[in-house]
Chain A
């Protein structure tokens, strides 16, 4: 926990953000927030701007209007590497493992930071390997040779190396076998118990409703609905309206 952040203000706040890719207007004024240690779900059909919202928070795309606040300070326009150092971990949709780097080297990209002692690095590695024993087994294997599920674990473990206050998780269960899905589900709970906030973008509605405290539903680049996850049910009209299959 960050002692200088007032617990009252949200950890991450997105305020009326408009983001463009070239000339296409993707986000039309998105507002949402995530409190310290909170798991928040972000639902919506494909192409409504969920991933772009995460990228905007991460500083990978910069909004033309609106602002992003981290622990009460505006961070709009900061480069991604500074946001990562502030404590935002990013697990992208396509995992983006460094394919030619070994598992260990992938983890090192987040570990070799200023002011990290060797013992602290080892603690973080031990923790990640305890969660994901398969990564310990494959530590000297190239990231590109891992299976999809293992790559997803590596992507999450890699983000954990930054000791983030929040992790932006983009469709972590996409294309995974059911056994892997439940493992990802468990790791979300573990991170939650450890006090890490999570902004979870998912297509898997039941999983999102179980894992999250609150849920935002997006459509066409704006947030249309916002509710406590416990108040929503997979069969609700609002779920059908915005996510219906």
Chain B
């Protein structure tokens, strides 16, 4: 079989479409995972309620959109409200547990996730709600009418992550967050109010989850269990990217989403999920510190 036969056998159109799909999902996932990895990195808390903060953000988006009619207002208000809620949750539940066995924070955040899920079920019912996308244009991608909104999600997620990175790099509080992540005790000794840095970091992580909830809302229905799929993937990404490494999580989000997207060319999307787990298992077996961090010395 000649080389041209092999080239001809490759479904280029599908691959390009799936690359775009993979990047879009990857950016959303990166936005969720960034918050998760920030929170883990700075206070060693595995936040099991992260998916519910994502879900709550989407619901607040639904409510604000219904009353104001503005998607952008919904995005901003959902982000701020969930950030404030995150701060309150951190102060009341996690701050008293700092320095205790990690199991206690796992149980605490898992408890919060159950409360939030059932609150959403009680408040909004089991029927999925819809968020109307801010605009409904399409462009032609081979045989597909591809919505512009999907590309906008990817761009906005990238913009939020970029802004967050600039804040960490140059902002006064960004330097505080990085210093506290590296050495909590020494940060305290330098006069950094570590308990409030923790609260702030949790609020930022929660706000980012909420923003991704609103952005992603138009693509799927908003319901009380929508956080579950994402949180599972976000955990995989955080482990594969190297626990606590922001750059690693972002790289892993895009990597895994692309792999899943390509796999679903030949398998059903439900089966394509297996790819994530295969990557997770291989990472844990052969490079447990993470794929996208430098080899530890």
Partner-binding segment picked from A27-35, A69-77, A103-111: A103-111
Q: Counting CB contacts under 8 A, is B56 at the interface? A: no
B-side contacts of A109, CB under 8 Å: 175-176, 179, 187, 190-192
Q: Which of B186, B188, B190, B195 has the most CB of A within 10 A?
A: B190
What is the number of residues of chain B that contact chain A, defined by CB distance less than 8 Å? 18
Count of inter-chain pairs, beta carbons less than 8 A: 64
Instruction: Report whether over half of chain B's contact residues are helix, strand or loop; otherwise say mixed.
Output: helix
Q: Counting CB contacts under 8 A, is A223 at the interface? A: no
Nearest CB of A to B76, in Å? 27
Query: Complex formed: what's the CA distance from A105 to B182 in Å?
Result: 13
Query: Complex formed: what's the CA distance from A100 to B186 in Å?
Result: 14
Query: Complex formed: what's the CA distance from A85 to B192 in Å?
Result: 9
Q: Decide yes or no: A80 and B176 within 8 Å by CB, A98-B182, A98-B183 being known contacts.
A: no
Nearest CB of B to A19, in Å? 15
Q: Decide yes or no: A98 and B194 within 8 Å by CB, A105-B175, A105-B178, A109-B175 being known contacts.
A: no
Beta-carbon contacts of B235-259 to A below 8 Å, as 1s and 0s? Answer: 0000000000000000000000000
Q: Report the interface size class on chain A.
A: 20 to 34
Residues of chain B in range 188-205 having any CB-CB distance to chain A below 8 Å: 188-195
Q: Decide yes or no: A96 and B185 within 8 Å by CB, A101-B178, A105-B175 being known contacts.
A: yes
Q: Does B182 contact A110, Cβ atoms closer than 8 Å?
A: no
Chain A's closest residue to B174 (CB) is A105
A-side contacts of B179, CB under 8 Å: 98, 101, 105, 109
Beta-carbon contacts of B142-162 to A below 8 Å, as 1s and 0s? Answer: 000000000000000000000
A-side contacts of B189, CB under 8 Å: 58, 60, 80-81, 84, 90, 92
Partner of B186, one of A85, A98, A113: A98
Q: Counting CB contacts under 8 A, is B5 at the interface? A: no
Query: Complex formed: what's the CA distance from A80 to B190 in Å?
Result: 8
Q: Counting CB contacts under 8 A, is A225 at the interface? A: no
Q: Counting CB contacts under 8 A, is B100 at the interface? A: no
Query: Complex formed: what's the CA distance from A200 to B164 in Å?
Result: 41
Partner of B191, one of A60, A81, A92, A101: A81
Q: Decide yes or no: A81 and B178 within 8 Å by CB, A92-B186, A96-B185, A109-B187 being known contacts.
A: no
Given contacts A60-B188, A81-B194, 12 further A-B contacts (CB under 8 A): A60-B189, A80-B185, A81-B193, A98-B178, A98-B182, A100-B178, A101-B178, A109-B175, A109-B192, A112-B172, A158-B190, A162-B190
